Amino acid sequence: MLKTKDILDEKDKRLHEISKEVVFPLTETDKKAIHDMIEYLHDSQIEELAEKRDLRPGMGMAAIQLGIKKRYFVVVNEITEENDTEQKFETYIIVNPTIVSHSEEEICADAGEGCLSVNRETEGYVRRYARVKVSGYDMDGNKIVVRAREELAIAFQHEIDHLNGILFTDKLTFNIDGIRTI
């Protein structure tokens, strides 16, 4: 079971290395890592489970954050439906992701971005595309294309940055003139 202490801290130099393309089929180690990432991200967003397991809340995680220098990430996105009291989630697993198109419009997370590898308060914003189209592969090597907007688009770009050796703290700015916050 993955714990917060298993996630690399921003001081670890591996987080600034570019991850390598995945060759299919996935190894059992990669499949287990993906399962562990899903479980961690899901449980970290449910308050009582997060408290019980001492998990920092997170929406996404790239393989490199576990020291695995391969191009894949997981995003577990809470979806809210009107009049629904039960928490529901959509899970995205994207192997060898590439942003194939994006909007001209840029946005920022109004509370700023966070990261499971950055264990400190940060100030500033990261400019991201409001909409992205990402292509890649599922766990079985089947080609997939996912369109994401706003919060989900921010998460995808954040995780792809990890795969390229970039932390959100490398992109922080205080100048967001004309950029919509969500």
pLDDT digits (tens, 9 = 90+) for 58-109: 999 999 999 999 999 999 999 877 777 788 999 999 999 999 999 999 999 9
Confidence of residue 178 (pLDDT cuts 50, 70, 90): confident
Please tell me which residue, 35 or 83, carries the higher pLDDT value.
35
Please tell me which residue, 27 or 84, carries the higher pLDDT value.
27
CATH number at residue 137: 3.90.45.10
Q: Which neighbouring-strand residues pair with 11?
A: none
**pLDDT attached to residue 152:** 97
**pLDDT attached to residue 149:** 97
**pLDDT attached to residue 85:** 74
Q: Is 10 a catalytic residue?
A: no
Report the DSSP pairing between strands 88-102 and 106-108: unpaired
Please tell me which residue, 176 or 6, carries the higher pLDDT value.
6
Catalytic residue selected from 48, 104, 151, 159: 159
The domain in which residue 8 lies consists of 4-181
Place of tokens 């766990």: 139
pLDDT at 174 over 90: no
Number of independent structural domains in the chain: 1
pLDDT at 14 over 90: yes
In one-letter notation, the amino acid at residue 29 is T
**pLDDT attached to residue 80:** 79
**pLDDT attached to residue 157:** 98
**pLDDT attached to residue 86:** 80
Query: b/e for 148-162, b at 16 or more Cβ within 10 A?
Result: beebbbbbbbbbbbb
**pLDDT attached to residue 7:** 98
In one-letter notation, the amino acid at residue 150 is E
> Percent of the chain scored above 90 by pLDDT?
88
pTM of the model: 0.95
**pLDDT attached to residue 26:** 98
CA distances from 122 to 49, 115, 125, 170, 172 (A): 26, 10, 9, 11, 9
